Amino acid sequence: MLVNWLKRIGTYLLVLLGLSILVFIIGRVIPGDPARQALGPRAPEEVVQALRVEMHLDKPFVTQYVLWLKGALRMDLGKSLMTRRPVIVDIKEFLPATLEIVSISALFMVLGGILLGILSTKYADSWLDGVIRVISYLGIVSPAFVWAIIFILIFGYMLPLFPTTGRLGLSIISPPTVTGMYTIDFLLNGDIVGFKDALSHLLLPAIALMLGGLAQAARITRSSMTENSTKDYILAEKAYGIPERTILLTYLLKPSLIPTVSVLSLDIAALFGNAFLVEQLFNYPGLSRYGMQAMLNKDLNAMSAVVMILGIVFITVNILSDMVVAYLDPRVRLLGGGNE
C-alpha cells in the first residue's frame, strides 16, 4: 500500500516541478523589461542595469531557472518589486488571510453541498427538490464576483449587518500573530469581541466564494444518489425492510459520495482562483489580491511564488481527497487502484 502512496506523491512532485517550469516560462516571456518597469521611466540606465544583474536577467534562461529554483528551496524567493520586501515576508503576511477564507468556504461547501444533495434525493421531484435545484443552478451559474457585488449592495448599504471591507473593524487591533489567522489568534488570546469581528468580516467573502462549489456538490451528490438508488443492493436492502432513513444516510450515501469528493477537491482548489476577484472587491488583504497585483504589475518573483503556492495547495487538496476516497471505497484502499 505504501508503495502506491509514494508513487502518487512522486507524480505530484513531478507535476509541481513541471508547474515551476511553466510559470518560469510565462514569467520570462513577458514583453518589456521588468527592471525598467520596477524603477520607473526616469531611473538612470546604470541603476536599472544594476537591478537587471541583481535579478540575473542577463544570464541565459536555464541558469536563471536553476538559480531561482535553488533560491526557492532555501525559501529565498527574491524581492517583490511592489512591496520592496522579500517575497517570503509578503507570503507570511497574506497567505493566512486567504487560507482563513478558503477553509471556511470549503467547510460550508462540503457540509452544505452534501446536505442539499441528500435532501433533494429524499424529497425527489417535490417542491423542496425544485427549490434546491433552482438554488444550485443560480449558485453554479453566477461567478463569485457577481455574488460579491450583490452582497456588497445588500449588506453594505441596504441592511448593514455584516462588514463588507477589510479584515478587521477600525477599532479592533489585530491579535498577536500566532498562526496569522485572526479568528484563531483571537481565540488563542481569549478575545471574544475580536473573534466575532474577524469572523463577521470573513462571512460575506466566504459565502460569495463557496456558492458555486456548494451548488456543484449538491448536484453531483443528487445525481449519483439517484443513480445508485436503483442498484440491486439498494433494492435488496429495501426488500429486507431496512428503514428508509438508514438506507439513505448510510448504504446509499457512502457509495454515492465517491464522485462528489473528486469534484469537491477540484472546486476547493478553484476557490483560490475565484478568491482573486472576491478579495479585490472586498479589499480583503489576502494572497490572491497580492498575486493579482503581481500579475498586473509584472512582478516576476511575487507572481511565481503565488502560483507555486497555489500549485502546492492544489496538490495537498488532491492528496486529501485521495485519502477520503480511499476511506470511502475499499477497492481503492486495498487494491491501490488510484483514480487517474
Helix (H, G, I), strand (E, B) or coil at 79: strand
Does 199 help bind another protein (rule: CB under 8 A)? Answer: no
CB 175 within 8 A of CB 191: yes
Binding residues with another protein: total (CB under 8 A): 77
Nearer CB in complex with another protein: 58/227: 227
Binders of another protein among residues 154 to 183 (CB under 8 A) are 156-158
Does 193 help bind another protein (rule: CB under 8 A)? Answer: no
Does 15 help bind another protein (rule: CB under 8 A)? Answer: yes
Does 121 help bind another protein (rule: CB under 8 A)? Answer: no
Among 6, 44, 241, 245, binds another protein (CB under 8 A): 241
Does 24 help bind another protein (rule: CB under 8 A)? Answer: no
Please give the helix or strand (H or E) that residue 42 lies within, else none.
none
**Closest distance between another protein and the C-beta of residue 193, in Å?**
29
Residues 6+ apart with CB under 8 A from 22: none
Does 143 help bind another protein (rule: CB under 8 A)? Answer: yes
Among 169, 180, 255, 285, binds another protein (CB under 8 A): 255
- Please state, as a whole number, how many other Cβ atoms lie within 10 Å of the Cβ of residue 314: 21
**Closest distance between another protein and the C-beta of residue 274, in Å?**
7
Does 34 help bind another protein (rule: CB under 8 A)? Answer: no
CA 202 – CA 162 distance, rounded (Å): 9
Does 46 help bind another protein (rule: CB under 8 A)? Answer: no
Does 251 help bind another protein (rule: CB under 8 A)? Answer: yes
Does 95 help bind another protein (rule: CB under 8 A)? Answer: no
Among 5, 16, 180, 320, binds another protein (CB under 8 A): 16
Does 31 help bind another protein (rule: CB under 8 A)? Answer: yes
Residue 324: strand pairing partners? none
How far from 319 is each of 5, 6, 9, 239, 273, CA to CA, in Å? 9, 11, 8, 38, 19
Does 13 help bind another protein (rule: CB under 8 A)? Answer: no
290: Cα within 13 Å, side-chain hemisphere:
29
Does 128 help bind another protein (rule: CB under 8 A)? Answer: no
The three cell numbers locating residue 165: 471591507
Helix (H, G, I), strand (E, B) or coil at 86: strand
Binding span for another protein by CB under 8 A among 43-51, 111-119, 134-142, 192-200: 134-142
Binders of another protein among residues 288 to 307 (CB under 8 A) are 291-292, 295-296, 298, 303, 307
CA 106 – CA 100 distance, rounded (Å): 10
The three cell numbers locating residue 138: 443560480
Q: What are phi and psi of 79, to 5 degrees?
A: -100, 150
Nearer CB in complex with another protein: 67/328: 328
How buried is residue 39: exposed, middle or buried, by Cβ count under 10 Å (0-12/13-18/19+)? middle
**Closest distance between another protein and the C-beta of residue 328, in Å?**
6
Among 59, 70, 92, 231, binds another protein (CB under 8 A): 231
Among 43, 47, 89, 138, binds another protein (CB under 8 A): 138
CA 215 – CA 204 distance, rounded (Å): 17
CA 271 – CA 158 distance, rounded (Å): 27
Of 104, 89, 101, nearest to 284 by C-alpha is: 101
CA 168 – CA 275 distance, rounded (Å): 18
The three cell numbers locating residue 38: 520596477
Nearer CB in complex with another protein: 198/302: 302
Nearer CB in complex with another protein: 24/182: 24
**Closest distance between another protein and the C-beta of residue 246, in Å?**
7
Among 185, 211, 311, 321, binds another protein (CB under 8 A): 311
